Structure 1
Amino acid sequence: MSLFLFPTSVRRDPEIDAWMREQPGDLGAIAQRWFTVLRNCGADVRELLHDGHPTACVGPAAFAYVNAFRSHVNVGFFHGAGLADPSQLLQGTGRFMRHVKLRPGSSVDFPALELLIQRAYEDIRARLEAR
Structure 2
Amino acid sequence: MDQILRFSGALERAPAIDAWLDERTPELGAIARHWFGRMRQCGDGDLRELMHDGCPTACVDDAPFGYVNVFTAHVNVGFFHGADLGDPAGLLEGRGRRMRHVKLRPGSEVDPGALGALIEAAYMHLRLCLEPWRT
TM-score interval, normalised by the smaller of the two chains:
over 0.9
The letter of the residue matching 2:110 is V
Tell me what 1:66 maps to: 68
1:8 CA displacement: 1.2
Structure 1 residues 59-102: Cα deviation after superposition (integer angstroms, max 9, x where no partner): 00000000000000000000000100000000000000000000
Separation in 1, partners of 2:132, 2:120 = 18
Counterpart mapping for 1:27-66 below 5 A: 27-42=28-43, 43-66=45-68
Partner residue of 1:108 out of 110, 125, 128: 110
Counterpart mapping for 1:92-107 below 5 A: 92-107=94-109
Tell me what 1:122 maps to: 124
> May I ask how many residue pairs the two structures share in their alignment?
131
The letter of the residue matching 1:33 is H
Instruction: Tell me if 1:15 matches 2:13.
Output: no
The ranges of structure 1 where at least 4 consecutive aligned residues each deviate by more than 2 angstroms after the TM superposition are: none
Tell me what 1:75 maps to: 77
Separation in 1, partners of 2:5, 2:67 = 12
Consecutive unaligned residues of structure 2, counting only runs of 5 or more, are none
Tell me what 1:86 maps to: 88
Question: What TM-score results when the alignment is normalised by the length of structure 2?
Answer: 0.95
Provide the alpha-carbon RMSD of the alignment. 0.7
Percentage of identical aligned residues: 57
1:7 CA displacement: 2.5
